[in-house]
Structure 1
């Protein structure tokens, strides 16, 4: 399965999810979390931060999201975390 970088305008494709996440963290601008102000890598890691550090209600309020937006991101997190070797991503990014 190929993994495409979901950051707007990128379109880069990777053979594995770990490479896609590392690409997002190293090749794209970091973003400031609208809930707490923490600066995080864009893409998967930004979504993971928002959904593990904050409530869904905080996310919805801060980002103007709706239930479909939340559902899409939860599904993406689940899909990635089912197959990704998160430890290898952390090791690579250190």
Structure 2
């Protein structure tokens, strides 16, 4: 059974490793425009990473009309992914023409 599920917009894509899931999110789903600063990033993990690395929890809550449970869920997902993630492997798997803003 595949451990990683995409989850973007109800996508049920299943993957053996987290890197494959992130590559799928980056290549197969529309980009996400941050409601706090307007930066465009890949949907899924990179959008969550951007939100919580670049903005405060309060900014996120206001911009996304989120509550504390939504924040905790995204923080949990980010933490779980980063436990297993080899970011260099993601970069190596991405198509050469994909522009990923990680800031």
| Shared fold per TM-score greater than 0.5 | yes
CA RMSD of aligned residues (A): 1.1
Paired with 1:52 and 1:21, the residues of 2 have a C-alpha distance of 17
Aligned to 1:72: 73
| Alpha-carbon offset, residue 83 of structure 1 | 0.6
- Secondary structure of 2:38's match? coil
Point out 4+ residue stretches in structure 1 off by more than 6 angstroms: none
Which runs of no fewer than 5 residues in structure 1 stay unpaired? none
| Alpha-carbon offset, residue 9 of structure 1 | 2.7
CA shift digits 1:56-94 (9 cap, x unpaired):
110000000110000001111110000111121133335
TM-score, scaled relative to structure 2: 0.86
Are residues 1:33 and 2:34 paired? yes
TM-score, scaled relative to structure 1: 0.94
- Secondary structure of 1:8's match? helix
